[in-house]
Amino acid sequence: MRAATLAGAELLGIAGEVGSVEAGKLADLAVVREDPLANLKTLNGLGHLRADAEGVRRVGGVAYTVKGGIVYDAPALLARAKERAARSAG
């Protein structure tokens, strides 16, 4: 994790601004509902399919995205994007 975040910022000389989640630093985050260390499919933006005795359902995925200090509801954004695409397709 450090190699993908803080180490890169240090190499670029911008570790004081980005690279770790700290007060005063810029950070974009993806908030997921499940433990990605237990199941990497959780990090798929749309989630993944899970089959059990109750049937097949979509689980996981990004619940919220935080960009520039603004919290975005990922499923709501996806729904709006689909609506716009449908209108554009006519």
Q: What is the pLDDT of residues 4-31, one digit of tens each?
A: 789 999 999 999 999 998 899 988 888 8
Is residue 2 assigned to a domain? Answer: no
Dist CA 31 CA 25 (whole Å): 18
* Encoded tokens for 75: 């499923």
Q: Running DSSP on this structure, what letter comes out for residue 66?
A: E
Residue 33 is assigned to a structural domain of this protein: yes
6 lies in some domain: no
Q: How confident is the model at residue 83 (pLDDT cuts 50, 70, 90)?
A: very high
Asked if the structure places residue 16 within a domain, the reply is no
Place of tokens 């601004």: 17
So what's the pLDDT on residue 78?
Answer: 85
Expressed as residue numbers, the domain containing 58 is 26-89
Residue 60 has pLDDT above 90, yes or no: no
Tens of pLDDT, residue by residue over 42-56, are: 888 777 888 989 899
Mean residue pLDDT across the chain: 87
The DSSP symbol for 43 reads G
